[in-house]
Amino acid sequence: MSQTETFQALVTSEHDGQFQTRLQTRHFDALAAGHVRIQVHYSSLNYKDALSSQGNRGVTKNYPHTPGIDAAGVVSLSHAEQWAVGDPVIVTSYDLGMNTAGGLAEFIDVPADWVVALPDGLSLKSAMILGTSGLTAGLAFDKLQRCGLSPDQGPVIVTGASGGVGSLSVALLAQQGYEVWAVSGKPALYDWLKQLGASDCLGRDAVQAPPEKPLLRPRWAGAIDTVGGNILSSVVRACHKEGVVAVCGLVQSPELNLTVFPFILNGIHLVGVDSAQVKMAQRQKIWQRWATDWTVPDLGEHLETIPLAQVPEALAQMLAGQSRGKKLVQIGSDEV
C-alpha cells in the first residue's frame, strides 16, 4: 500500500480552547515494526469516545486525535508474523482511541499484541455490536460465575441498564437464566429493557438509600454496577449473604462510601472489572464465549447503525444523557 494514499477519519481538534470533531482526510504513516494495519469495517460508540471528543485530558492527552476504543476489520498490512493480510480481527481497549488513533477511521495502525482473531461464530458486525461494552459485560458476568453466583440464589441487579455495558449485561444474564432487575433513570426505556430480558425495572430512587445506614434489607443476590457512587454503595449494602457485586463504571461517581459491615457480616464479594488491560488469554476466552454459549439472539435489533459522518452528533447525545444502548458505526463493507 502506497504511503501517499489517504483515508477518512474522524478527528477532534482544539481551536481557541474549543474542541470540534469532524471528518478529515488523513495520510498514512509508515507502519512500525511489530504493528499491523487494519481496514476497519465497524466500530461502536463508548462513553470514553465522547469524553475524548470533548478534550478530556484524563482520556486523551494530545490533540488533534481520532477517538474510538473499538474496531473490527481485516488486516491490510502486517509487520508481525502472527498476522497475515486478510485476517479478520478485533481490537478493543488497550490505548486504542485514547492516545493512539482510534477506530473511528477507515484504517488503524496498532501493535500486533493488541489484536484478537475474530472467533468462528462472530461476524465483524456482531463483534462490534458487542465491542468494549460486550467485553466488559462478559468479564463482569464471568466474575459473578467464578464467585459462585447461580440463578437459583435470587435476582441480579444491573445499574445503568440503559447504557452499552448495562444493556448487554441485562441481555446476557437473562439468556443465562438469571432473574434480572434493570435500574435506569429513563422510564421511557423500561419496555426496551424488558425486551432485552429484564424481569423488572427500577428507578434510581428505588435503589438508593442514605449512606449512613451500614446495612440494608437484603433484596438481591448480586449485581453488575456501571455507575459507582451512592448507587453502588446501596447495592452492596442490600445484597444477600455471600452476594457478588461486579464493578465496572463510575457514571454517577468514583467515590464509594461504605463500612466494612457488608463484608464481615454478610460475606459480600466486591470484584473489579478492568477491560482495558485484561490479559490476552482472558480476553480471548470472553470473545470465544460470546461466539458460542453466550449467543444472545437479535441483539442487532436493539441498536442503531450510523455512518462516520453522524458520529459527532451521536457523541454529543451520549454526553447529554440522551442515548440508549449501543450505537454501531459502519465504516466498511458488511463482509470480510
Full residue range of the structural domain in which residue 80 is found: 6-118+303-330
Residues 25 and 46 in one domain: yes
d(CA 325, CA 132): 13
Give domain status of residue 28, yes or no: yes
What is the average per-residue pLDDT within 189-195? Answer: 94
Which pLDDT tens digit goes with each residue over 200-250?
999 999 999 999 999 999 999 999 999 999 999 999 999 999 999 999 998
pTM, rounded to two decimals:
0.93
Which pLDDT tens digit goes with each residue over 96-120?
999 999 999 999 999 999 999 999 9
Which pLDDT tens digit goes with each residue over 254-281?
999 999 999 999 999 999 999 999 999 9
What is the average per-residue pLDDT within 187-202? Answer: 95
What is the residue-averaged pLDDT of the chain? Answer: 93
Q: What percent of the chain has pLDDT over 70?
A: 97
Residues 232 and 108 in one domain: no
Is pLDDT at 2 greater than 50 in this prediction?
no
Residues 144 and 260 in one domain: yes
pLDDT of residue 323: 75
Per-position DSSP letters for 179-212, written without gaps between them: -EEEE-S-GGGHHHHHHHT-SEEE-GGGT---TT
5: Cβ contacts below 8 Å, ≥ 6 apart: 27, 28
pLDDT of residue 303: 77
Question: Which three cell numbers, joined as nine digits, stand for 151?
Answer: 440463578
Give domain status of residue 294, yes or no: no
Residues 184 and 205 in one domain: yes
Domain holding 252: CATH number?
3.40.50.720
